[in-house]
Each structure stands twice: as structure tokens, then as C-alpha cells.
């Protein structure tokens, strides 16, 4: 018991010392309390450390516990009640949240429950200006690395879980990563702790349970030290991934512009291996999941595509495109209808993510109901204010270097039958209009 407590204390103090550079020091430790054996042991150890003058000379931040009720088990409410009693006996502030799961295509209930659990935990931890503390242990780490191997992950994925990490800007500490399941079991029994048993933990249809109940025991029977060896490998992978990420970020800074568009010519100056790594780092700015090898290969082919071509690679809700010697990563937007009246409150332009507002010169006579947004008119002739000649709308769009995939959605503002303005990404271009059109002023917010 003393060994496990000493391990947790040492890891906790080391983790908190690494977080001292944060703008606001942690004021609380929020324990993710499921009610299962692992989290109950963690709660008890932290409670004993916090109450011991010998173990807590540095005065750890105050303790909170938070439980998320997924409702997946018929006993879920009992588990939540059990957690509240555990905390009441130790005088630890306790809060809980109940989440509702819905069947979604291609997303398992377990994955959805995990995501919602973290969302609620992180929200609560941020509200308490705290650090989230989880009960992940040595064998959780082994399971995670084996699952990553099964998925064909690279160094970052094989790095598995870390003693200190961040999610949504909230620090997460895992002080039991070096503690075995056996040590946790022994602590729980010796301390006469009470916990709940989740019946789903014995369902070997789930990969993690299959590894825990079938594969890892066989490995440890043949190689008793294999779990700690796998954990060391995970740490080495994480260190290599951090070094690689650091260098990749430095390289990326010299290759992308202020709008995060990537210079194709500069990227081609690097080897194919570095191209892949830089592309991974670039895409991480837009979504957290690393792209597959096949997606990276498709993007690399875009680098040498003919200048006039319009290659596209789709990644979830995003598209990678090439235009004017740059790679763009674009979130797919909702298209405007071909004709949309502009109400008094203005109108949102999905293609730009901005809101268009319209005002009229003082005392001018005008009909607000005559204003509308119109798309899909590439061949209409226009003459911007200050220009000597009219040209087709599509020719102006080329001159303004609007990317081809956006051109069909660039809206014109019409007053009755007269086009009066063009809504571009970073400006609104006023057009020459007949004298019958009032002087209108346009702005974004």
C-alpha cells in the first residue's frame, strides 16, 4: 500500500511541477470517478495523501470528484449514488452529470459515451480551474498500445497515454500509469474499499476486454515483464513523436502563410518523407485525427498536378485543394440558395462565415424588400466602382483570385433588377448602378 501511494504521490508532484508554467495555477484536482475499482483506489489514495502532513508537504490542490452517468446499464443510477456516498464519507465535494446517448450511424454507443464523458469532465474541470486526474494504469497503457498497433498507428499513436497531457486546453494527469492492475487489486482489498462492477467489462466482443482477459494474461505468463517493456516502448515512441512534432512545426512555419495555406513549391523542396510529416502537422491545425497513408499519398500527388487542374482530396468534413501554388484546407460550407431576400437584420454568408449588413444614406427613399442575394450568374456583365470597363462576372472573379470552388457561391447583392455589390471574402465591392438605385452601404460583422 505504501508503495502505490508513494508512486502516485511522486507522479502527481512531478506532473503538477510541469504545469507550473501555466498562466493560472491549478486550484483543484478533479477525480474522474466512475465507481469502478481503479477510480475508487485513486480517490482513496488522493484523499489519504491530502490528509497526511507527511505525504502532502506541498499542499496539493483541493479535491473534487465528478461522475458521468451514461445510463447504459440498468444499475447506472446505483453507481452514481455509490460514488456520492464514497465522497460523502471522505468529505470530498462531489458532482455528477447524466448524459443521453442516441444511435448514430458509424458511431458506437461506447465511443459516443466516451466522448460525452470527456466533454462533461473537461467542462467541470475548466469551471473549477482544475486539473483532471484519471485512474488509467499500467495495463490500460498496454491495452492502448496493442490497440494502436492493431490500427497500424505511427509513433504518435504508439505513444499511447501520457502522465501529463491536454485536451481542450484542460490539463490531464494520469499518476497511476506505472501501477499494475495487481497492485490496484491488492490496495482495494487491503483497504477494504467498495466499488461497482460494470458487467460490460467481461464482454469480449469489445477489443479492449478481449486483450485484457485473453491476450495480455498469455503474454505475461510467458514474459512476466512484458507489460512494463511495452509501457517503456510507449514512452520512447512518445518522446520521438514529440521531437518530430517540434521539428515539423518549425518547418511548417516557413511553408504556410497567415491564412494557413501551404506553399507547394517550398514543400516540394523537401523529401517525400518530410512532405508527409509536414502535411500531417499542417492538417492537425484543422482536425485532430491523423490522415491515413492513402490520403497523404493523394495529397502528395496534388503537389505535382498540372497548374490548370483542380485536384481535390476529401477528409471528413474538409477538402484539400490546390490553387495559385498553395494548398488550401477548407471546411465544407452550406450553399446559399440562388435567390435569398435580405431581411432588416442582415444575412449570414456560409461561404465566408460572415454576416452582411446593409444601410442606406440618410433621407434616401428605398424599398428594403427589394434587396436580395443572388448566386449562379457567372456570365452577367458588371462594372465595379472606379473601373473603366465592364466584364463578365466570372472574369472579375478570376482577376480577384477567387478560388474556382468558391466562385459559384460568391453572391451578388441585387436591388430590384440591378446588381449593386459583390460579396468577396475580405471586402465588399460596390458596382456602378443606375441613378434610380439609392446609395447603399454594406459591411460585414
Q: Catalogue all structural domains in the chain, each as residue range(s) with its CATH number.
A: 2-238 (3.40.50.620), 262-331 (1.20.59.20), 339-444 (no CATH)
Q: Give the residue from 337, 312, 16 showing the smallest Cα distance to 164.
A: 16
Phi, psi for residue 349 in degrees, rounded to 5: -105, 105
* pTM exceeds cut of 0.85: no
Say yes or no to pLDDT of 329 above 70. yes
Q: Which residue has the cell 518523407?
A: 273
Predicted local confidence at residue 269, as pLDDT: 95
Cβ contacts of 153 within 8 Å, gap of 6 or more: none
Please compute the mean of the pLDDT values over residues 314-332 and round it to a whole number: 87
Return the closest-CA partner of residue 61 out of 93, 99, 89: 93
Which has more pLDDT, 164 or 426? 164
Neighbours of 237 (CB within 10 A): 20
Between CA 216 and CA 237 the distance in angstroms is 20
Q: What is the mean pLDDT of the chain?
A: 88
| pLDDT, tens only, 115-140 | 889 999 999 999 999 999 999 999 99
Position 100 scores a pLDDT of 82
CB-based contacts of 154, cutoff 8 Å, min separation 6: 241, 290
The answer to whether residue 54 scores a pLDDT higher than 90 is: no
Neighbours of 161 (CB within 10 A): 18
Q: Where are the alpha helices (H) located in 285-353, listed in sequence order?
A: 293-303
CA angle 197/198/203 to nearest 5° reads: 125
Q: Would you put residue 263 in left (φ > 0), alpha (ψ -120 to 50) or beta?
A: beta
Q: Which alpha helices (H) appear in 51-180, and where do they start and end?
A: 76-90, 109-127, 138-151, 155-158
Average pLDDT over residues 401-420: 88
Reported confidence tier of residue 361, pLDDT bands at 50, 70, 90: low
Please state at what angle helix 181-190 crosses helix 37-50, rounded to 10 degrees: 70
Exposure letters 274-286 (e unless 16+ CB within 10 A, then b): ebbbbbbbbbbee
pLDDT in tens, 247-291: 999 999 999 999 899 999 999 999 999 999 999 999 998 887 788
Q: 53: which 3 cell numbers?
A: 502532513
Cβ pair 76, 70 in contact under 8 A: yes
pLDDT at residue 107 in the model: 65
Residue 19: its pLDDT value, please?
85
Inter-residue contact 315 to 296 (CB < 8 Å): no
Q: Residue 193 has what pLDDT?
A: 95
User: Mean pLDDT throughout 380-401?
Assistant: 92
Q: What is the average pLDDT across 59-78?
A: 87
- Rounded average pLDDT over 198-212: 88
With a pLDDT cut of 70, the percent of the chain lying above it is 93
Amino acid at each position: 500500500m505504501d508503495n502505490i501511494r508513494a508512486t502516485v504521490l511522486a507522479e502527481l508532484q512531478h506532473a503538477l511541477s510541469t504545469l507550473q508554467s501555466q498562466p493560472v495555477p491549478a486550484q483543484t484536482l478533479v477525480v474522474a470517478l466512475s465507481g469502478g475499482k481503479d477510480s475508487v483506489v485513486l480517490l482513496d489514495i488522493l484523499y489519504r495523501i491530502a490528509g497526511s502532513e507527511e505525504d502532502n508537504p506541498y499542499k496539493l490542490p483541493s479535491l473534487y470528484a465528478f461522475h458521468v452517468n451514461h445510463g447504459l446499464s440498468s444499475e447506472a443510477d446505483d453507481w452514481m449514488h455509490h460514488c456520492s456516498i464514497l465522497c460523502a464519507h471522505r468529505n470530498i465535494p462531489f458532482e455528477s452529470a447524466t448524459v443521453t446517448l442516441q444511435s448514430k450511424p458509424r458511431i458506437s454507443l461506447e465511443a459516443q459515451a466516451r466522448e460525452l464523458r470527456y466533454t462533461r469532465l473537461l467542462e467541470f474541470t475548466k469551471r473549477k480551474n482544475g486539473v483532471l486526474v484519471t485512474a488509467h494504469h499500467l495495463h490500460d497503457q498496454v491495452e492502448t498500445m496493442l490497440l494502436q498497433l492493431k490500427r497500424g498507428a505511427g509513433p504518435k499513436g504508439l505513444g499511447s497515454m501520457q502522465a501529463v497531457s491536454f485536451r481542450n486546453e484542460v490539463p490531464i494527469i494520469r499518476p497511476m500509469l506505472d501501477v499494475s492492475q495487481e497492485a490496484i487489486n491488492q490496495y482495494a482489498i487491503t483497504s477494504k474499499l467498495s466499488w461497482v462492477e460494470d458487467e460490460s467489462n467481461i464482454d469480449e466482443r469489445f477489443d479492449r476486454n478481449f486483450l485484457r482477459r485473453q491476450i495480455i494474461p498469455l503474454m505475461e505468463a510467458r514474459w512476466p515483464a512484458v507489460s512494463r517493456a511495452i509501457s517503456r516502448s510507449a514512452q520512447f515512441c512518445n518522446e520521438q513523436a514529440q521531437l518530430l512534432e517540434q521539428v515539423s512545426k518549425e518547418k511548417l512555419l516557413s511553408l504556410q502563410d497567415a491564412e494557413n495555406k501551404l506553399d507547394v513549391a517550398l514543400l516540394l523542396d523537401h523529401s517525400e518523407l518530410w512532405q508527409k510529416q509536414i502535411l500531417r502537422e499542417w492538417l492537425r491545425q484543422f482536425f485532430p485525427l491523423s490522415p491515413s497513408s492513402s490520403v497523404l499519398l493523394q495529397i502528395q500527388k496534388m503537389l505535382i498536378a498540372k497548374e490548370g487542374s483542380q485536384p481535390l482530396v476529401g477528409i471528413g468534413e474538409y477538402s484539400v485543394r490546390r490553387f495559385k501554388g498553395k494548398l488550401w484546407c477548407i471546411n465544407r460550407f452550406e450553399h446559399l440558395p440562388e435567390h435569398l431576400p435580405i431581411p432588416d437584420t442582415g444575412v449570414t454568408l456560409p461561404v465566408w462565415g460572415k454576416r452582411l449588413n446593409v444601410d442606406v444614406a440618410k433621407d434616401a427613399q428605398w424599398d428594403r424588400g427589394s434587396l436580395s442575394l443572388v448566386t449562379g450568374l457567372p456570365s452577367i456583365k458588371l462594372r465595379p466602382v472606379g473601373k473603366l470597363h465592364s466584364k463578365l462576372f466570372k472574369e472579375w472573379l478570376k482577376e480577384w483570385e477567387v478560388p474556382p470552388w468558391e466562385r459559384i457561391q460568391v453572391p451578388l447583392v441585387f436591388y430590384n433588377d440591378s446588381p449593386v455589390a459583390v460579396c468577396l471574402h475580405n471586402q465588399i465591392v460596390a458596382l456602378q448602378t443606375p441613378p434610380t438605385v439609392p446609395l447603399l452601404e454594406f459591411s460585414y460583422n
